[in-house]
Amino acid sequence: MKVKFTLGMMVFLLSLSQSYANNVQVSNVTLTGQNAANNTYQVQFDISWENSWRTSTFESNYDAVWIFFKFRETPQLNWQHGSISTTGFVEPTGGTINVPLESGSSGYGAFLHRTSDGIGDVNYTSVELKWNYGFSFEDDVVIEICVFAIEMVYIPSGSFLVGDASNTPEGNFEMGNTNASFSITSENTLTLGGTSSANLSNSNAISMATVDDYNYAITQTLPANYPKGFDPFYVMKYEMSQGQYAAYLNKLTTSAAGARFPGQFGIGNHTVTDTGVAPELYIATSPDRACNFLNWGDVASYADWSGLRPMSELEYEKICRGTRPSSPDEFAWGDPFIYNQNYSYASPDLPEETILNPVPGAGNAIYNLTRGPQAGPRRCGMAAASILNPSRREAGASYYGVMEMTGNVWELAISTGSVNGRNFNGNNHGNGIISNSTGNSTVAGWPPVSGASNALGTGVRGGGHPSSAPKLRVSSRDLANTIINSRFTDVSGRLVRSKL
């Protein structure tokens, strides 16, 4: 939601926001309660989204939204990130707000979620966050504000297993050289490789496209700062959508947006295009579709810009498997059973796109046997919307209710297989500020970006729409240490936050 206001005259002009992925909507944004002495304003808005839940049994988790905002002084072009106070917010009835502390008494965004157990759509009104704008505006300056909301899922703390004892491993994690699953029991330092059952090994890096720098003969150390998935964190409920990505491009400088623009309109179901018409220069004609053709530089930049961070490959397995025992060759829904015929689609390319021919009880994912004649990703959350009251398998959902961790597009993740990945510091999150010239992330402790698209220390997990079924398995690490040095029709990203 955008708000234009004149401080001297206290006039507010409203315009409608965009919304993507299960229809998260922000509306009725206003500014109220200015404290000129402390340079603060209350940002008030309504927010709603579909298919929300909170449960205190079994998974013991809930969904949420990550809320942040950008502002600018018009007619200036540069957007800045809004600083949100950790106090002074107003929670809606039935909702809880948490602002993770980052600097002083402020954070870069806020989480909003259900206060108590429940399931279904939510509609929160008169939500308020305190904006620490931190400086004095001149009288009669016009400020434009845009409030963003991203659907997230809370992943609770706890031990979990990586690796699944597959008989056809592809660099799968294991306990030493036993082929048994390895238990992650803390965020402490781990020894990678070797044959000891105390070590996290990798099936001797068998069948990996780019082998790890550890194996049965060579060991490495995984530092405590590398996020292992034991501590709690939030993860995006859906893969990054094309609408989300276009909205991000529209808040960058011309130079930064040019560097981060994929430029693949009309190829592989990619619909993000440069219209040449300001102010919404970039649009996505299928905004709810997963955004492909992203490289490490793009994903790291979006993470920094939004106050989130990239996901580690250990967190990827925690999100999928949860606290359940592992099952050989399982997909994100917890078993090896997957549908293997072409889908037909209702309302293709539209926000209400669904699968016309879902098979009850089948595991659903977009991959080479199901995607159909269109060689590209489909809309976020499509499988879950295609069957009434779907099971986890039918929805293609992870243990915690995260969508499309198997198939559609590969998930960029920080690898354990190289020093640049292992040096990733999961305590460092984006601060909303990226390079205005290159569009690159400026966060220390993340794998570097080399050139426009090379990534050192990253890889991909989970498979994509052209992949064969074995590449979609939770434990497959075929490309876990492969540098994505170009833009591909099946690569995207999903972000997390562990500073809660």
pLDDT digits (tens, 9 = 90+) for 449-467: 865 445 689 999 999 999 9
- The full DSSP string for 10-44 is TEEEEE-----TTT-EEEEEEEEEEETTTTEEEEE
76-94: average pLDDT: 95
The pTM of the full predicted model, rounded to 2 decimals, is 0.95
Phi, psi (rounded to 5 degrees) for 46: -105, 150
Of the chain, the percentage scoring pLDDT greater than 90 comes to: 85
Per-residue confidence (pLDDT) for residue 139, from 0 to 100: 64
pLDDT digits (tens, 9 = 90+) for 114-128: 999 999 999 999 999
Contact 146, 71 (CB under 8 A): yes
134-162: average pLDDT: 89
Per-residue confidence (pLDDT) for residue 450, from 0 to 100: 63
Per domain, the residue ranges of the chain are 2-154, 156-500
pLDDT digits (tens, 9 = 90+) for 68-82: 999 998 888 899 999
Per-residue confidence (pLDDT) for residue 349, from 0 to 100: 85
Per-residue confidence (pLDDT) for residue 2, from 0 to 100: 56
- Higher per-residue confidence, 451 vs 38: 38
One of 2.40.10, 3.40.50, 3.90.75, 3.90.1580 is the CATH number of 156-500, namely 3.90.1580
- The full DSSP string for 344-378 is -EESTTSTT-EESSPPTT-----STTTS-SS-S--
117-144: average pLDDT: 89
The enclosing H or E element of 421 equals helix 419-422
